[in-house]
Amino acid sequence: MSHSHSGADLAAARAVIRHHAQLAAVLDRHVRNLLEAAEHGDDVRAQDVRADLLGWLREELLPHADAEETALYPVAADRAEAALLIRGMRAEHRAITDLVAELDATTEPVRLAAAARALAGVLAVHLAKENELIVPLLVDAADVSLAALLDGMHDLLGSSKSAGGCGGTCGCGGGPATTDAAAPVLTIDPRLDVRLLPHDRRHTTVLAALDAMPAGGALVLIAPHAPRPLLAEIEARYRGNMVAEWLQDGPDTWQVRLSRQPDPA
């Protein structure tokens, strides 16, 4: 990272990843509500959830996908190593659009729940690729400013620059881009995915990673369930020096950002 926008670009990357977690969490909540309505045969509830979900998809998710295709994807596709990836990402956008159309075309609760669950699965894989492949690619590109690209997405979404960043409309948490040399240089937090680890090794693996993490460092814990016993163990072990921030609260994946605070003087 040597180009002049590194601090702003890393901050923008954090904002994008946070926004993606928010999108996934909102969709997961709608899926849970549809599943519950289908399980209880509550058609009235299912139609209410369907209406709310379709409104959110049309007002938030689909415009976000369109803005990505216009502002981010062409820049990434110009790089030979990402051209095929971006082609696949665009195909996933089409799959997402088709699933939204399926939700719009059906009213039967079980079919609604199935389509919504499929949509959440496609979106989860899609966002993981963006977080782990596309965002780092753009941050590392010396001739690209991710902060400027994100600003372009906000313009496409009709956000107000005068309010700073996205103006609060997209929920990404982005602020106005800055190249101030005094601004803190943020990092994209490493991810520690314990889902594939044996259950009896998860706590020790996480604690070892936290022990090795310097003050001011952070990582994102990815777990197959709400890691509340582990968080209680972390709280007891670090006595308030490790801050937990929930990024995704189920239903299939839980993400918690763990940041180590400076030791008291």
Residue 188 amino acid letter: I
**Would the pLDDT of 215 be above 90?**
no
Give tens-digit pLDDT for 146-191. 888 887 776 666 543 333 334 444 444 444 433 333 333 334 567 7
The set of residues, in sequence order, having a beta carbon less than 8 Å from that of 7 and lying 6+ positions away, is 178, 179, 180, 183, 184, 185, 186
Residue 235: which of 207, 202, 214, 195 has the closest Cα? 207
Mean pLDDT value across residues 240-248:
87
Residue-averaged pLDDT of the chain: 81
Phi/psi for 236 (5° steps) reads -70, -35
Greatest Cα pair distance, the chain, in angstroms, is 61
Please answer whether residues 169 and 158 qualify as being in contact, where contact means their C-beta atoms are separated by less than 8 angstroms. yes
The pair of structure tokens assigned to 221 is 């814990």
Distance of CA 108 to the CA centre of its chain: 30
pLDDT tier for residue 1 given thresholds of 50, 70 and 90: very low
Burial of 99 (0-12, 13-18, 19+ CB in 10 A): buried
pLDDT at position 89 is 94
E-assigned strands of the chain? Answer: 191-193, 218-223, 242-249, 254-260
Domain 6-163: what homologous superfamily? Answer: nmb1532 protein domain like (1.20.120.520)
pLDDT at position 186 is 34
Name the CATH topology of 191-260. Translation Initiation Factor IF3 (3.30.110)
Strand partners, 218: 259
The set of residues, in sequence order, having a beta carbon less than 8 Å from that of 6 and lying 6+ positions away, is 185
pLDDT at position 10 is 82
Q: What is the DSSP letter of 263?
A: P
Please answer whether residues 163 and 28 qualify as being in contact, where contact means their C-beta atoms are separated by less than 8 angstroms. no
Phi/psi for 146 (5° steps) reads -60, -35
Look at the pTM and tell me if it is higher than 0.85. no
Residue 257: which of 236, 234, 208, 124 has the closest Cα? 234
Domain limits of the chain? 6-163, 191-260
Of the candidate ranges 148-152, 165-169, 202-206, 245-249, the one whose mean pLDDT is the lowest: 165-169
Give tens-digit pLDDT for 20-54. 888 888 898 899 899 999 888 899 999 999 999 99
pLDDT tier for residue 140 given thresholds of 50, 70 and 90: confident
Of the candidate ranges 82-91, 111-120, 185-194, the one whose mean pLDDT is the lowest: 185-194
Give tens-digit pLDDT for 95-115. 999 999 999 999 999 999 999
